[in-house]
Structure 1
Amino acid sequence: MRPGLRLKILLITVVTPLALGVAALVTVDRSVRAHVDDSSLHESLDRAAAMFRRMLATRARAQQGGARVIARDPRFFSMLALGVDQRDARFTATVRGMARDLNGITRSDVFEVFDRRGRRLASEGPCATTPGARAGLVREALGGREATRIVPVGTHLVQLTATPVRADRRVVGALVIGSHVDDALAREVRLLLRGEVSFLAHGRITATTLERDADRAAVERLMGAPSEAGESPVRLDPVRLEADGASYLAIAFPLPGAVPGQHVVMQRASDPETLFRERIRRDLGLLALVAVAGALVTGVLLAGSIVRPLRQLVRGAQEMQRGNYAYPVRVRGRDELGYLAQRFVEMRQREQVYVRGLEEAARIKNEFIAVASRELRTPISVLAGYRDLLEGGSLGPLSPQQRQALSAMREALAQLTGVADQATRTIQIRARRLDPRFGEHAVVPLVERAVGAALAAAPGREVRVRHEVPRDLGAWTLDAEQVHEALTRLVWNAIMRTADGGSVHVDAAIVADALEVGVSDDGPEIPRERLARLFEDGHAVGHALQQRAAAPDDEGVEPGLGLGIARGIVEAHGGTIDVAPRPQGGVRFVVRLPRAPARAAA
Structure 2
Amino acid sequence: MKILRKSVVLKLWLFMVALVLIIIYFTGVLQTAKLRQLYYNQQLELLTSEAKHISTIKDINEQSMNANLLSTLAEAFKGNIMIIDRQGYIIHCIGMGMSMKNVADEKISVVGHHDLPWKQSDLQSIMQGKTISYQGAYHFLNSDVLTVAVPLNNEGQVTGSVMLSSPLAPIEERIGALQRITIYAGMIGIALATVLSLLLSRTISRPLLKMHRAARSMARGDYSRRVEVKSQDEIGLLANSLNILATELQEKITTLERLDRTRREFVANVSHELRTPLSIIQGYTEALMDGLAESEAERQKYLEDIHEEILRLRRLVAEILDLRKIEAGQIEMKMQEISLAYLAGQVFEQFQTLAEDKQITASLDIAPGSYTLKADPDRIKQVLINLIDNALRVTPPGGQIKVTLTELKDAVQVSVADTGPGILPEEQPLIWERFYKVDKSRARTGGGTGLGLAIAKNIIETHGGTVDVSSKPGQGSTFYFIIPK
> Which category describes the TM-score, using the shorter chain as reference length?
0.3 to 0.5
Q: RCO (CA 8 Å, sep 6+): is it higher in 1 or 2? A: 2
Q: Structure 1 length normalisation: TM-score?
A: 0.35
Q: Structure 2 length normalisation: TM-score?
A: 0.43
